[in-house]
Chains A and B, each alone.
Chain A
Amino acid sequence: MSLMTEITIFVLAVFVGFEVISKVPTTLHTPLMSQTNAIHGIVMLGGLIVVGFANDGIEYVIGTIAIAFGAINIVGGFMVTDRMLGMFSRKPRPKADTDAKKGAG
């Protein structure tokens, strides 16, 4: 890919990013952040490529750490986001039995 192609993709992605993310309501900003943390875990691909094609001791070590870091982002990020969003999508219970189930969760 030429540098100019990459810059084109980058600039278009900036516009898409601002367009999409500015529509996310304030209420969901914390899950948005943890989700973008998870998406940032895409850098793990770089770690995979480093280790997958490495033949040098230091590259083994730093690449493996990079994979572990990326995996923390991906797995932890998506899972904690799922947990949080589960709290938002809970159906509001009928008012009568709110007391009975106090302290659940």
Chain B
Amino acid sequence: MIEAVLKPGGDAATALYIVAFSLFIIGIKQGTHPTTAKRGNLIAAGGMAIAVVTTLLLDGMGNWGLIVLGLGIGSAIGVIASIRVQMTEMPQMVALYNGVGGGAVALIAWSEIRHGISLGEDFPLDSLIPVIFAGIVGSVSFWGSNIAFAKLQDLIPTRPIAAPGQQVINAVLLLAIIVISVVLAVDHESPSEGLFILLLVLAAILGNLVVLPIGGADMPVVISLLNAFTGLSAAAAGFALDNVALIVAGTLVGSSGTILTLEMATAMNRSVSNILFSGFGGAPAGGGGGTGEERPHVSIGAQDAAIKLAYADSVVIVPGYGLAVAQAQHAIKEVADELEKRGVTVNYAIHPVAGRMPGHMNVLLAEADVPYENLKEMEEINPEMPRTDVAVVVGANDVTNPAAKNDPDSPIAGMPIIEVNEAQQVIVIKRSLSPGFAGIDNDLFYEPNTSMLFADAKAAASEIAAAIEDL
């Protein structure tokens, strides 16, 4: 069918793999700017094409029917999913991709074990250990990602689900996994396939149990962490298969996932282990004085908000996940357009965790045609706040709470926030005064320069846009 020319593990194949991973690195490097990122993505895809074709040309390849079947099914699913997915659903999609990636690694590790055993020779430790590692991490990522997907898709409750003694069960599972791994490695002359499958099953249970107790608000960290895991598992598979392309590509993915995980955790002012093992981040944490009698606040209507905005010189919009839930990004863009027509400067302040995954809010706003130059990062916009006439908070809560800076006893003390309270005036569009994910009252709502507009974000934004137009 295809003329097989390349020797497996030979210089020609390795050289082509080196070209492939170089293109991955160049592709990601081009991803550092919105104008070049699209080309970078194509370059990386080109690298992937080279890697795949190289492998197909390896001498001795057979079973073409199955290869075409696998490629056909996978490609068809990939094409349909990538065309149909809504931008609000990107976190689910990435969770699913993390999952299948981890699953592929676990399956490859399993077949490597089978293959090694069938040769009846001593299984070299420098490939057995990576195979075991790849199997465990791949299985954990597959099942953990499936749970993350189910939570994001609301198939299972997003609130933390935890059994009593969960930590103990997890610890026992982890211990069992380590013991079985050691037994497999010690017995490298004839490792047991049954034990390896048991290892995959235990890792699967662990993956489920670790992600189930994590609440919806912590999903950005979980997705990033699972992304890092799948990368590591691919690198491990590369060690097992002696394939440089897998080692480098897996490591790139692992680095990316690690950077994003740390960045998300910093933005939430929590450690990764705290997120994984505390089961907070969905249910109100209690305390903090969220209940009690209503504190005095100023409430306004869309008309008043329109007037405040129309006569401002500079406006900063602070969107949160509530904006995406209400599908209000297009309506907000209309408000911005109306204001820009009147000569008002409009920028968007994006908190790193404004959304369900790293950078999610930026994509949602880009979809609504907001130019990326107007999307400002937290560090960039905070110094501008005192010079801002009106800050509009839409669907964001905890990330604007001044208590994070002012109240050392607050549960979110130290969390980096968008300092909207520094702006001359603040308009908060929100359904009620209810607390956010952290379960604490937002002091911002009661500041003298804050006006509350109680409404659905989309309806309110449309009303404001219409009102400005009529002014």
Contact = CB atoms under 8 A, between A and B. Distances in A.
Nearest to A89: B38
Contact of A26 (B94, B101, B362): B362
Nearest to A75: B78
Contacts, number: 367
Contacts of B8: 49
Contact of A75 (B79, B245, B249): B79
A36 B358 contact: no
26 contacts: A6-B244, A10-B239, A13-B235, A17-B254, A28-B359, A29-B260, A31-B363, A35-B27, A35-B41, A36-B253, A37-B94, A42-B48, A46-B243, A49-B55, A52-B55, A63-B66, A66-B108, A69-B100, A71-B74, A75-B79, A75-B82, A76-B93, A79-B82, A80-B81, A85-B34, A105-B369
> Which 7 pairs from chain A and chain B are nearest by CB?
A71-B74, A17-B255, A67-B70, A29-B359, A76-B78, A75-B78, A29-B358
Interface string A36-75: 1111111111111111111010111011111111111111
Interface of B: 8, 20, 24-25, 27-29, 31-35, 37-38, 41-42, 44-45, 48, 51-52, 55-56, 58, 60-63, 66-67, 69-71, 73-75, 77-79, 81-83, 85, 87, 90, 93-94, 97-98, 100-101, 103-105, 107-108, 110-112, 114-115, 118, 126, 223-224, 227, 230-231, 233-235, 237-239, 241-260, 263, 330, 334, 337, 340-341, 350, 352, 357-360, 362-363, 366-367, 369, 371-373, 375, 377
Contact of A38 (B34, B44, B223): B44
Name the prevailing secondary structure of the A interface residues.
helix
Given A21-B252, A29-B260, A88-B37, 10 more contacts: A13-B248, A13-B255, A20-B32, A28-B31, A33-B357, A37-B98, A66-B70, A69-B74, A87-B366, A87-B367
Nearest to A91: B371
A1 B341 CA distance: 64
Interface of A: 1, 3, 6, 9-10, 13-14, 16-18, 20-54, 56, 58-60, 62-90, 92-93, 95, 98-99, 102-105
B257 A26 contact: no
B359 A64 contact: no
Name the prevailing secondary structure of the B interface residues.
helix
A88 B358 contact: no
Contacts of A50: 108, 111-112, 115
Given A27-B34, A73-B97, A33 B111 contact: no
Given A9-B248, A23-B32, A76 B97 contact: yes
Contacts of A83: 82-83
B243 A45 contact: yes
A94 to B, nearest CB: 11
B52 A48 contact: yes
Contacts of A6: 238-239, 242, 244, 247
B373 to A, nearest CB: 8
A4 to B, nearest CB: 10
A77 B104 contact: no
Contacts of A85: 34, 37-38, 41
Contacts of B79: 75-76, 79
Contact of A43 (B34, B234, B330): B234
B212 to A, nearest CB: 22
A16 B340 CA distance: 42
A73 to B, nearest CB: 5
B259 A39 contact: no
A10 B253 CA distance: 12
A92 B16 CA distance: 40
B252 A51 contact: no
B260 A40 contact: no
Contacts of A86: 38
A72 B52 contact: no
A39 B224 contact: no
A13 to B, nearest CB: 4
Contacts of B341: 95
A1 B241 CA distance: 10
B317 to A, nearest CB: 15
Contact of B249 (A20, A40, A89, A99): A40
A6 B33 CA distance: 32
B81 A72 contact: yes
